[in-house]
């Protein structure tokens, strides 16, 4: 079945460490997105990419970095510059052929905790 | 910037009652609007997608309406069941990059 795979499901980060969250899709979608979810708040956009080797900052990009070397992969790195990284991270994709008619597909999320 | 508001923030009903979840947005120039369901600790599951040219969309017990001019969408869930307990999120797409703007959601509890 086609879908989005996020790994790991749980991740623990020590102070000062960089960690990378994986997002892989087999839907042949062009566009991919990273959202952050905090308790009691709506999802906020971190980064997005519409094509390989190109990506754009979202509303809360500070302290995060991404790459898009392959169409199916969009990893997110949480750097030590992100002061409050504890949150639930969701990856999503959107096919751009008829992108705005198909809707989004989301992964199952990664819960990141600072220890 | 698009602002999305969902009312009520929380809702508790006995099994069998119909649910009405409201979503309002400030920028009516949307491409489409998607309703999602989120179970605790899980990702988002798409429920319904309404194109900007549509007035409503139906899937089983779910029906979503869209009034672009007034910036409103409503999700109706008929004959609620305990398995409908979840947080429901609405999200309009307002630019060609496809970025979603989310409301904070409505947390629904259906009691047996």
**Chain A environment of B41 (Cβ under 8 Å):** 88, 109, 111
pLDDT at A40: 75
pLDDT at B96: 74
Q: How confident is the model at residue A9 (pLDDT cuts 50, 70, 90)?
A: very high
Contacts of A66-75 with CB under 8 Å at 24 or more apart are: A66/A34, A68/A32, A71/A28, A71/A30, A72/A24, A72/A25, A72/A26, A73/A22, A73/A23, A73/A24, A74/A23, A74/A25, A74/A32, A74/A34, A74/A49, A75/A20, A75/A21, A75/A22, A75/A23
B71 neighbors B26 (Cβ within 8 angstroms): yes
Q: In this structure, what token pair is assigned to residue A7?
A: 């790994």
B34 neighbors B46 (Cβ within 8 angstroms): yes
pLDDT at B47: 94
Which of B34, B98, B101, B107 should we substitute to test contact with A (largest number of A Cβ atoms within 10 Å)?
A: B98
Query: Which of these ranges, A46-50, A86-90, A92-96, has the smallest mean pLDDT?
Result: A92-96
- Collapsed DSSP state (helix, strand, coil) of residue B51: strand
Average pLDDT value for residue range A72-94: 94
Q: How confident is the model at residue A96 (pLDDT cuts 50, 70, 90)?
A: low
List the Cα angle A89/A75/B99 in 5-degree steps.
Answer: 60
Burial state string for A47-85 with b = 16 or more CB within 10 A and e = fewer than 16? bbbbeeeebeebeebeebbbbbeeebebbbebeeebeeb
Q: Is the pLDDT of residue A106 over 80?
A: yes
pLDDT at B25: 96
pLDDT one-digit tens code per residue, A52-71: 999 999 999 999 999 999 99
| B106 at A interface, C-beta within 8 A | no
Q: How confident is the model at residue B45 (pLDDT cuts 50, 70, 90)?
A: very high
Q: In this structure, what token pair is assigned to residue A87?
A: 């949150």
Average pLDDT value for residue range A92-96: 81
Q: How confident is the model at residue A100 (pLDDT cuts 50, 70, 90)?
A: low
Average pLDDT value for residue range B39-48: 92
Average pLDDT value for residue range A87-115: 84
Choose among A96, A100, A111: nearest Cβ to B32. Answer: A100
**A49 to chain B: nearest residue by CA?**
B97
The residue with tokens 């999305």 is B4
Q: Is the pLDDT of residue B27 over 70?
A: yes
- % residues pLDDT > 70 (chain B): 100
Binary contact (B100, A104; C-beta < 8 A): yes
Q: Is the pLDDT of residue A1 over 90?
A: no
**Chain B environment of A3 (Cβ under 8 Å):** none
User: SS3 sequence, chain A?
Assistant: CCCEEEECCEEEECCCCCEEEEEEECCCCCEEEEEEECCCCCCEEEEEEEECCEEEECCCCCCEEECCCECCECCEEECCCCCCCCEEEEEEEECCCCHHHHCCEECCCEEEEEC
Interface of B with A in 8-47 (CB under 8 A): 31-32, 34, 36, 41-46
- CA distance, residue B42 to nearest chain A CA (Å): 6
Q: Is the pLDDT of residue A98 over 70?
A: no
Q: What is the mean pLDDT of chain B?
A: 93
Choose among A43, A96, A103: nearest Cβ to B102. Answer: A43
pLDDT at B72: 97
Q: In this structure, what token pair is assigned to residue A19?
A: 């960690």
Which of A31, A46, A100, A112 should we substitute to test contact with B (largest number of B Cβ atoms within 10 Å)?
A: A100
């Amino acid at each position: 079945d086609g879908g989005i795979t996020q790994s790991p499901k749980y991740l623990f980060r020590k102070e000062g460490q960089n960690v990378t969250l994986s997002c892989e899709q087999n839907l042949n979608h062009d566009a991919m997105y990273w959202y952050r979810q905090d308790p009691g708040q709506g999802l906020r956009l971190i980064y997005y990419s519409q094509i390989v080797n190109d990506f754009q900052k979202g509303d809360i990009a500070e302290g995060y970095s991404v790459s898009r070397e392959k169409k199916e992969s969009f990893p997110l790195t949480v750097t030590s510059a992100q002061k409050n990284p504890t949150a639930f991270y969701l990856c999503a994709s959107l096919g751009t052929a008829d992108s705005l008619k198909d809707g989004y597909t989301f992964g199952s999320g990664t819960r990141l905790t600072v220890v | 910037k698009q602002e999305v508001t969902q009312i009520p923030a929380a809702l508790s009903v006995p099994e069998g009652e119909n649910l009405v979840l409201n979503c309002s947005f400030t920028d009516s120039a949307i491409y489409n609007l998607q309703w999602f369901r989120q179970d605790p600790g899980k990702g988002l599951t798409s429920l319904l997608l309404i194109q900007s040219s549509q007035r409503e969309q139906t899937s089983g017990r779910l029906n979503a309406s869209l009034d672009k001019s007034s910036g409103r969408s409503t999700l109706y869930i008929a004959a609620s069941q305990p398995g409908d307990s979840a947080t429901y999120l609405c999200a309009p797409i307002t630019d060609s990059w496809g970025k979603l703007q989310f409301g904070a959601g409505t947390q629904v509890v259906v009691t047996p």
